[in-house]
Amino acid sequence: MYGNFTIKQNPVILGIESSCDETAAAVIRGRTLLSSVIFSSAAEQAKYGGVVPEIASRAHTDAIDEAVKAALKKADIAFNDIDAVAVTYGAGLLGALLVGLSFAKALAYTLNVPLIAVNHIRGHLAAAYLCDSKLKPPYVTLLASGGHTAILHTKTYTEFEILGGTSDDAAGEAFDKVARILGLPYPGGPNVQKLAESGKAEIAFPRALVKNVSKMQFSYSGLKTAVINYCHNAEQKGEQVNRADVAASFQRAAIDPLVLKTVESAKMLGVKTVTAGGGVAANGYLRDSLTKACKEANIKLILPEKVYCTDNAAMIAAEGLIQYRAGNFAAMDINASASIPLK
């Protein structure tokens, strides 16, 4: 019968992630990362200008066994060494999530080890634990992905407070929309960053809610409209817009408020450590600005490598460890969820 698990202090956890277009597997032992493997269907998705759910599900089905085997091999771990399987159960594309979840269930069941259902966004938060083995709460996190933009105050390993969020689009979503306006291919964020590198950030796009620094709220719809209007006005006058300048100016307007308010939150709370997570935290301008701002404020910054900011399974294993230690195991009838709240 499934159950009656042996609980260890530093378990070997296999993490599995398949919520969007990355099929990822990773192995940790305690807080030590042993391997992380990521297969992506992004090149295939780019042909359609965005993620096609059915293509993503099929790509996961093709890749998942290979990803898991490769992660185990890299970590020099056998199936029988696995103490728990942590898997993303939401939020994300349902068909895509079900591939990873079903695979994880079968594996946990066969090995008779706990199945841990991980909230993808909490995974982004937990990524920082793997890049600094000494990191412990309290700390403030800037979370910026395709679906979320928030500043969080983590008080204990399992408790956090949401200090603020976005009233409309997420930061990553804004990058993706502006990429479309500028005619850049999928994935939008990295392509906007690349174009911005050759531009001057001199167009005065609105930096939402930046005047009230202590209000931990963001908004991206006004910025997006300003970019659209700028491009349309130029078009109507028969002028050529400098796309690189638009990208650089947008990037600065989108990111400055995130950096400013994250550091302000830490200062207001008297918290001495800041972390970041989510795809937008892979942005070079954000990384440089946050590093500089934290240094100036004498705050320690734990910034996961870019590959652990965008979707990966190491962060799922890391959040799995927190849930493992809290004894939070999933039942075998757990289902995937397209959307789950952060809290």
Decide which of ligand KG4, Zn ion, none touches 187; Cβ closer than 5 to 8 Å per partner kind: ligand KG4
Q: Which of 11, 114, 257, 279 touches ligand KG4 (CB under 6 A)?
A: 279
Closest CB 279 distance from ligand KG4, rounded Å? 2
> Does 280 engage in binding with ligand KG4 (CB under 6 A)?
yes
Of residues 189 and 199, the one with the C-beta less far from Zn ion:
189
> Does 35 engage in binding with Zn ion (CB under 5 A)?
no
Of 145, 196, 193, the C-alpha closest to 309 is: 145
Distance CA 20, CA 25 (A): 14
Q: Residue 91, preceding bond cis, omega within 30 degrees?
A: yes
Closest CB 217 distance from ligand KG4, rounded Å? 20
Taking CB under 5 A as the rule, which mask of x and - marks residues 129-168 in contact with Zn ion?
Answer: ----------------x-----------------------
Distance CA 275, CA 143 (A): 9
Residues forming beta bridges with residue 87, ordered by sequence position: 16, 117
Of residues 11 and 277, the one with the C-beta less far from ligand KG4:
277
Q: Which stretch binds ligand KG4 (CB under 6 A): 42-50, 157-165, 185-193, 230-238?
A: 185-193
Closest CB 148 distance from ligand KG4, rounded Å? 7
Distance CA 90, CA 118 (A): 7
Q: In what order do the strands lie in the sheet with 300-302?
A: 160-165, 149-154, 139-144, 273-277, 300-302
Closest CB 169 distance from ligand KG4, rounded Å? 10
Decide which of Zn ion, ligand KG4, none touches 175; Cβ closer than 5 to 8 Å per partner kind: ligand KG4
Closest CB 181 distance from ligand KG4, rounded Å? 14
Site for ligand KG4 in 120-149 (CB under 6 A): 124, 145-147
> Does 308 engage in binding with ligand KG4 (CB under 6 A)?
no
Residues forming beta bridges with residue 85, ordered by sequence position: 14, 115
Distance CA 133, CA 81 (A): 22
Of residues 124 and 153, the one with the C-beta less far from ligand KG4:
124
Decide which of ligand KG4, Zn ion, none touches 280; Cβ closer than 5 to 8 Å per partner kind: ligand KG4
Distances (CA, A) of 176 to 49, 121, 167, 185, 280: 10, 19, 17, 9, 11
Distance CA 190, CA 179 (A): 9
SS3 at position 68 = helix
Of 1, 69, 85, the C-alpha closest to 37 is: 69
Q: Point out which residues bind Zn ion (CB under 5 A).
A: 145, 311
Q: Point out which residues bind ligand KG4 (CB under 6 A).
A: 124, 145-147, 172-173, 175-176, 187-190, 193, 278-280, 282-283, 310-311
